[in-house]
């Protein structure tokens, strides 16, 4: 996992990311997750969760895009965000047909295996109860389980790139492949035509519907568009790509303005940021809210049970009134706690962050990521956050500036690396000046 944070005020945006990545039971602490999205424009990008996309490392994707888009500039940060997503949709040199098909096969096979496991579990339950089970009963269980999965997937909305038409087209194009996967995984079951149709539709909805499992990448892009005075942020979850269509969920787009002076957003493992902002661990706060609500739901019954000599109808009336009063009191308690958190903790942090200079903004971002790392280090949790913290600050005047950045090589031994990087920038500026001269 990861701890990342974006902090924005009216003068700049600070980005910080840890370096830990988990592979099976092994944790590595030297992964790059924060990059400049452009060599010449004030825009940065971070990723979290999965470190690759259809088998291609995100670091490679970002650096290839950066070279391709070296002459691109846009009025708003949202346009940079959209342009990067457009690149992903059409990058056939990175994600060829076979890679996309492998992704489809892997996802569909895994989900059919999940359904098979559910069927086997239900069959075992019936057999353990009755000491026997007929083929007719098995067929009914298969139909029931597949129908439940189908109904659940139908309840989700489509992701932006997909529609009912795209879903039908996918099923038609993949029909032979889906038949082969069904035979491979569920071939020992007798499947009705309706069940087969539902299974194929489920296969398509794995990519078309707005439900994400654990195999996604979070992408965060922040900075300034050419015509933006204040910084902006856009983030999304990406899980796959099929025929120029991303499985995509936009999670946030926010912009600093005279009214919205501060944005502080943690990504992935952000519980310590919530603790810092609110003065209480978020899950503990929710536990307290739940317990108080539970107490006020149970207390009326305890009170009424202690009153002797009341008819049942009177007890029922008193119980109703006490429950109503208890609900009102618990709601007021929750609202009051929220008010105290805002007045004593959240608002002071926001007011201070609104006027932080760039160096203090970077220090705050780094410290909040380190807090999560320290928490993981001194508890029994796996140290899924750790390693050096990369920190960058993006401002309108200075652009993308590294404050802290780890490197796997010694800079003085690799001057060619830096000369190549900056020669690309100089070439762009030279081309722009030539165009300006002849315009």
- Over the stretch 74-126, which tens digit does the pLDDT of each residue have? 999 999 999 999 999 999 999 999 999 999 999 999 999 999 999 999 988 88
Helix axes 58-68, 77-90, angle to 10 degrees: 110
CATH of 1-270+358-408 given 3.60.20.10, 3.30.2020.30, 1.10.287.130, 3.30.70.240: 3.60.20.10
Higher-confidence residue of 57 and 127: namely: 57
At 226-259, the pLDDT tens digits run 999 999 999 999 999 999 999 999 999 999 999 9
Q: What is the dihedral of CA 268, 272, 275, 280, to 10 degrees?
A: 100
Residue 286, pLDDT above cutoff 80:
yes
Plot region of 311 (φ>0 → left; ψ -120 to 50 → alpha; else → beta) = beta
What mean pLDDT value characterizes the chain? 89
pTM (predicted TM-score): 0.87
Query: Judging by DSSP bridges, how do beta strands 26-28 and 263-268 pair with one another?
Result: unpaired
Q: Outline where DSSP puts E strands in 29-141.
A: 34-36, 43-49, 52-53, 56-57
State how far the alpha carbon of 142 is from the alpha carbons of 124, 135, 200, in Å: 13, 10, 15
Percent of the chain whose predicted confidence (pLDDT) is above 90: 64
Task: Order across the sheet with 245-255: list the strands.
Answer: 34-36, 43-49, 217-223, 232-242, 245-255
Least confident of 17-21, 162-166, 281-285: 17-21
Higher-confidence residue of 361 and 187: namely: 361
At 12-53, the pLDDT tens digits run 999 999 887 765 556 667 789 999 999 899 999 999 988 899
Q: State the pLDDT confidence band at 430, using cuts at 50, 70 and 90.
A: low
Cα separation, 91 vs 276, whole angstroms = 41
């Amino acid at each position: 996992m990861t701890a990342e944070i974006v902090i924005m005020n009216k003068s700049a945006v600070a980005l910080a990311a840890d370096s830990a990545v988990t592979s099976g039971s092994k944790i590595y602490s030297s992964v790059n997750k924060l990059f400049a999205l452009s060599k010449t424009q004030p825009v940065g990008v971070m990723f979290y969760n999965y470190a690759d996309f259809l088998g291609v490392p995100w670091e490679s994707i970002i650096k290839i895009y950066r070279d391709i888009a070296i002459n691109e500039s846009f009025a708003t940060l949202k346009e940079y965000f959209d342009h990067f997503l457009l690149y992903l949709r059409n990058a056939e040199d990175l994600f060829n047909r076979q890679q996309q098909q492998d992704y489809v096969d892997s996802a569909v096979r895994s989900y059919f295996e999940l359904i098979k496991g559910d069927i086997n579990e239900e069959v075992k339950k019936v057999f353990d109860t009755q000491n026997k089970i007929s083929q007719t009963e098995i067929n009914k269980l298969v139909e029931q389980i597949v129908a439940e999965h189908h109904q659940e997937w139908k309840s989700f909305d489509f992701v932006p790139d997909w529609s009912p038409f795209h879903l039908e087209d996918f099923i038609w194009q993949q029909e032979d492949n889906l038949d082969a996967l069904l035979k491979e995984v569920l071939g020992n079951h007798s499947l009705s035509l309706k069940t087969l149709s539902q299974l194929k539709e489920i296969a398509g909805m794995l990519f078309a519907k707005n439900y994400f499992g654990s195999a996604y990448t979070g992408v965060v892009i922040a900075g300034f568009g050419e015509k933006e005075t204040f910084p902006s942020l856009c983030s999304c979850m990406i899980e796959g790509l099929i025929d120029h269509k991303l499985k995509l969920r936009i999670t946030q787009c926010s912009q600093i303005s005279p009214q919205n002076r501060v944005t502080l957003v943690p990504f992935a493992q952000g519980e310590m940021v919530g603790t810092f902002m609110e003065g209480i661990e978020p899950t503990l706060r929710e536990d307290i809210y739940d317990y108080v609500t539970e107490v006020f739901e149970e207390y009326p019954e305890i009170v009424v049970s202690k009153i002797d000599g009341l008819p049942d109808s009177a007890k029922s009336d008193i119980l109703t009134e006490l429950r109503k009063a208890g609900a009102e009191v618990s709601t007021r308690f929750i609202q009051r706690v929220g008010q105290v958190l805002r007045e004593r903790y959240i608002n002071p942090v926001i007011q201070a962050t609104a006027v932080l200079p760039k160096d203090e903004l970077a220090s705050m971002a780094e410290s909040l990521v380190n807090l999560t790392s320290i928490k993981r280090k001194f508890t029994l949790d796996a140290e899924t956050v750790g390693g050096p913290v990369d920190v960058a600050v993006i401002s309108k005047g200075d652009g993308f500036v590294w404050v802290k950045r780890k490197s796997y090589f010694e800079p003085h031994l690799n001057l060619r690396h830096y000369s190549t990087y900056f020669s690309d920038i100089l070439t762009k500026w030279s081309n722009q000046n030539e165009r300006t001269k002849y315009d």
